[in-house]
Chains A and B, each alone.
Chain A
């Protein structure tokens, strides 16, 4: 596909290079930078604050601050447009409307839907480093001082890794940017493809997108880089806590309570009319697809990280980079790029009369495409898991004569399990709200909650679409509830 895009005829490429491209790249860059800073600040501060709260509250907060991930950004955007627009609550109560449909509004939307990407790995990291508080107190530092001076510099690279995932998600977004009228790369790709029918220019744009992400990946700090650097800024301990609580409540309000209340309002008005048995079926499709894809993605991620840890090689690192790059490829290009070889395989099998069943019309296709797209999320998770496990663990296992085949189960998996479960949850929730791949690769009569929500929203029936959106959030909440205890607590042992 890449080769074709470089040599093929690209009728609309000239218009693109007439100046539009600069414009597109500029707005993509502002959006990406804004989301990077926004998710980092919100995610990291919350993680640090929650890590310092009493243990009983932790699980509640974890749930509260991971759950926003389950709200599809475009649903969030629609909800806020209603909230601050004509006839919304802001209008009713304060007689004013706010213009949110612009690039700053989009940064707001992405910050408050994607900050869990930063929050979750930071929380796991902090839970594993809780002994640093004791180190701090032996140095005569208060709990908050040790947090600020000792732990924050260590957790920064973890936060940046999470924020980069968020940035990739932002660069890949279509729904929010199209609705807000922001010409980003992905909007450009879709416009060129659907408007001009110019697939070649579209793929060329996608290649630019992938190159950008490759650059980001190269620039990414290594997990150990800043360990030695201590920040000398003083923290005001008592005040910080109260401020933290205020900040946490504000985030909970903005990221969850307000959009959820708009959704519930929509369900209240339309639920009885819209909700039928097809929702149960769609929910089932969503869950099984997400579960299957997430499980496979986690297994692949573990295999990659395990391999890299024990048999580091140039080839291994490169193949990992390819997996990470897939995350930045627009879903639709993954789906169509995968369809071609699979149809080829079908054709070959039918020609050889091996089978009449066709793989390209089965669930194999969406699962494979989703795994390709989201394995990087699980890889990132597993990587941060391994970052906390010293190499000496393996060395001592080896010196004790434990074969690698046994240490997989007795050492690597147990140590990594919180990170892998985190990866599972992230991929599960991602697949649950995923659209382009599911939409184009699904078999006949196979609705998911995300496709239901999307079609109603694209028909400008936002209140009806709230039914499916709310179900997505509820299913995600359930999965989080089941796994969150294992997730963070497991990490501290």
Chain B
């Protein structure tokens, strides 16, 4: 019985403490509530800098884009969310399609964000850019692939390593291929790649590089963002794995390498609209963009392609300029194709 008393007291105490904990708000200059899918340390620092500069407090909930969208949708006009941030165009497009965003643009945004990286109706704005490139083993005996399309060629039979089709990165890539060549071409491509798999899809982006190093396959797709993170990692295993691959920016003789953005839009029912607008403007400022590029190994969205580390070494390359909202629109079809061709 004593135990129950103790547990009960502890529970009540923690309940009281937990409630009091969330009430420390300094809202003199107002606050801005952010639902974000970006869970990076640099974002936390950037938000702190913003608060220091403007006095506006930034409150954050981090979760997956679709979880946040479902929450926004359910909360409707009662939603506390002012700014919605997602890490790919798919999430942003779905937010737009569900009518959860409101239009906003400004001189700062127009100056610092290329039109291709913004929604045509100003419902969302790109914040950072990443590309999906090809990594090949340094001891690849056959000709290196030059385009995404080449990966379906039978000369790479048993060589290709991939993560599963539930990865949004693979979905967006296939969406861009559907846009470039039509559904049938895209499906044949996916079928060809599946026929070339060295093993069933598994793991994350970095695992594919490690598996090339371990000799399990020769070719993989990886996001530039992870590539950069592997390069600056203090884990010797990641660096040594990276030494065993060469990076190829694909489709340089035609449409350019596939890219995607993380981006933000003002929530439809934002209660702190002007603060949210101030934060959005702040996030696309050149000095903040440089921080994203440096600390988080992403590309800026002004088209200058400024990045540091390994991404600087990779140099400037041609990127696909297709309107990114199409990635979101074609995403369901991409999954259908993956399921049809048995890309697990």
B236 closest partner in A (C-beta): A87
- Chain A residues positioned under 8 Å from B76 (CB to CB): 343
B142 interfacial by beta-carbon distance below 8 Å: no
Any chain A CB within 8 A of the CB of B251? Answer: no
Q: A87-B240, A292-B18 are in contact. Are A460 and B205 (CB under 8 A)?
A: yes
Residues of A within 8 A of B235 (CB): 269, 463
CA distance in complex: A459, B216 (Å): 23
A291 within 8 A of B: yes
Q: How far is the CB of B132 from chain A (nearest CB, A)?
A: 15
**A144, B244: Cα distance in complex, Å:** 56
- For A102, the chain B residues whose CB sits under 8 A away are 200, 202
Of B110-118, B252-260, B302-310, B336-344, which stretch is located at the interface?
B336-344
Whether B63 lies near A439 (C-beta < 8 A) is: yes
Query: Residues of B contacting A414 with CB < 8 Å?
Result: 1
Please name the residue on chain A nearest to B241 by beta carbon: A86
CA distance A181 to B340 in the complex (A): 16
**Contact string against A for B residues 323-344, beta-carbon threshold 8 Å, 1 for contact and 0 otherwise:** 0000000011011100110001
Q: How far is the CB of A60 from chain B (nearest CB, A)?
A: 21
B166/A190 in contact, CB under 8 A: yes
A87 and B204 within 8 A (CB):
no
B19 within 8 A of A: yes
Chain B: interface residue total (CB-CB under 8 A): 72
B314 contacts the other chain (Cβ, under 8 Å)? Answer: no
Is A234 in the interface zone, CB < 8 Å from B? no
A87, A99, A360, A442 interface centre (most CB from chain B within 10 Å):
A87
B11 and A339 contact, CB distance less than 8 A? no
B205's closest neighbor in chain A, by CB?
A460
Query: In the complex, what residues of A have CB within 8 A of residue B66's CB?
Result: 193-194, 197
Is B15 in contact with A343, judged by CB distance below 8 angstroms? no
| B166 engages A363 (CB within 8 Å) | no
Q: Does A20 contact B (CB under 8 A)?
A: yes
Q: Determine the residue in chain B with the shortest Cβ distance to A174.
A: B166
Contact of B107 with A by CB under 8 A: no
A339 to B71, CA, bound (A): 8
- Which residues of chain A are near B51, meaning CB under 8 Å? none
- B168 contacts A444, C-beta separation under 8 Å: no
* Known interface pairs A102-B202, A292-B14, A360-B78; A87-B210 also in contact (CB < 8 Å): yes
* CB-CB nearest in chain A for B199: A99
Residues of B within 8 A of A461 (CB): 229
Contact, CB under 8 Å: B166 / A332: no
User: Which residues from A are CB-within-8-Å of B190?
Assistant: none
| B144 at interface by CB-CB < 8 Å | no
B150 within 8 A of partner (CB): no
Min CB distance A13 to B, Å, is 12
Total interface residues on A, using CB and 8 Å?
Answer: 80
Residues A343 and B39 in contact in the complex (CB < 8 Å), given A269-B234, A363-B19 = no
Within 8 A of A (CB), among B125-175: 163-166, 168, 171
- In angstroms, Cα B241 to Cα A91, docked, is 13
Distance A101 CA – B65 CA, assembled complex (angstroms): 26
* 0/1 string, B195-221, CB within 8 A of A gives 1: 000011111111100110110100000
Q: Which of B54-62, B261-269, B272-280, B281-289 participates in binding chain A?
A: B54-62
Chain A proximity mask over B76-119: 1 for CB below 8 Å, otherwise 0: 10101000000000000010010000000000000000000000
Looking across the interface, which residue of chain B has its beta carbon closest to that of A418? Answer: B3
Tell me which residues from 323 to 371 in chain A have a Cβ below 8 Å from any Cβ of chain B.
332, 336, 339-340, 343, 346-347, 350, 358, 360-363
Asked if A409 is at the interface (CB within 8 A of a chain B CB), the reply is yes
B316, chain A: closest CB distance, angstroms: 26
Are A87 and B62 also in contact (CB < 8 A) when A179-B202, A446-B22 are?
no
Contacts A183-B344, A343-B78, A417-B3 known; A85 to B332 CB distance under 8 Å?
no
The stretch that binds B, out of A163-171, A254-262, A281-289, A312-320, is: A281-289
Cβ distance B15 to chain A, nearest Cβ, rounded Å? 5
Q: How far is the CA of A167 from the CA of B26 in the complex (A)?
A: 47
Give chain B residues whose Cβ lies under 8 Å from the Cβ of A296.
11
Residue of A nearest to B8 (CB): A295
Known: A181-B201, A363-B19, A417-B4. A440 touches B344 (CB 8 A): no
Asked whether any CB of chain A lies closer than 8 Å to the CB of B64, the reply is yes
Judged by a CB distance under 8 angstroms, whether B33 is at the interface is yes
Residue of B nearest to A16 (CB): B339
A110 close to B (CB within 8 Å): no
Find out whether the CB atom of A347 lies under 8 angstroms from the CB atom of B78: yes
Asked if B71 and A288 sit within 8 Å, CB to CB, the answer is no
Contact of B204 among A193, A460, A483 (CB under 8 A): A460
Please, which residues of chain A bring their CB within 8 A of the CB of B332? Answer: 11-12, 195-198
Query: With an 8 A cutoff between CB atoms, is A58 at the interface?
Result: no
A180, B202: Cβ atoms closer than 8 Å: yes
Which one, B39, B97, B166, contacts A191 given CB within 8 A?
Answer: B166
Q: Nearest chain-A residue to B64 (Cβ)?
A: A194
List the B residue with the shortest CB-CB distance to A445.
Answer: B59
Give per-residue flags for A413-444: 1 if the beta carbon is below 8 A from chain B beta carbons, else 0: 11001001100100000000000100110111
Whether A444 touches B64, Cβ cut-off 8 Å, given contacts A195-B335, A363-B18, is no
A489 at the interface (CB under 8 A from B): no
Q: Does A15 contact B (CB under 8 A)?
A: yes
How far apart are the CA atoms of A339 and B73 in the complex, in Å? 10
Does any Cβ of B come within 8 Å of A451's Cβ?
A: yes
Known: A85-B214, A181-B200, A291-B14. A197 touches B94 (CB 8 A): yes
Whole-angstrom CA separation of A331 from B114 in the bound complex: 39
User: At the interface, yes or no: B40 with Cβ under 8 Å from chain A?
Assistant: yes
Q: How far is the CA of A88 from the CA of B226 in the complex (A)?
A: 20
Contact A18 B1 (CB under 8 A): no
Contacts of B71 in A (CB 8 A): 336, 339, 440
A321 to B198, CA, bound (A): 46
- A187 interface contact, C-beta 8 A: yes
Check if B78 sits within 8 Å of A86, measured CB to CB.
no
With a CB–CB cut-off of 8 A, which chain B residues contact A101?
Answer: 202-203, 207
Contacting residue for B164 out of A85, A178, A288, A409, CB 8 A: A178
Please measure, in the bound complex, the distance between the C-alpha atom of A296 and the C-alpha atom of B94, giving whole angstroms: 38
Tell me the minimal C-beta distance from B242 to chain A in angstroms: 11
B residues 36-73 touching A (CB-CB < 8 Å): 39-40, 59-68, 70-71
With a cutoff of 8 Å between Cβ atoms, the chain A residues found around residue B67 in the complex are: 332, 436, 439-440
Looking at the assembled complex, report how far the CB atom of B166 sits from the nearest CB atom of chain A, in whole angstroms.
5
A179 touches B70 (CB 8 A): no
Q: B204, A360: Cβ atoms under 8 Å?
A: no
- Tell me which residues across on chain A come within 8 A of B18, comparing CB atoms: 285, 288-289, 292, 363
Contact A421 B15 (CB under 8 A): no
CB-based closest 5 A-B pairs: A87-B237, A288-B14, A295-B11, A444-B59, A181-B202
| 13 A-B interface contacts by CB (under 8 A) | A81-B207, A85-B207, A86-B241, A87-B213, A102-B200, A181-B202, A194-B64, A195-B168, A332-B67, A413-B1, A439-B63, A455-B62, A483-B3
- 20 more contacts with CB within 8 A, not counting A362-B19, A459-B40, are A12-B336, A85-B207, A85-B210, A87-B237, A101-B202, A102-B200, A180-B202, A195-B331, A197-B332, A284-B21, A291-B7, A294-B11, A343-B78, A414-B1, A420-B4, A440-B63, A440-B71, A443-B22, A460-B226, A486-B3
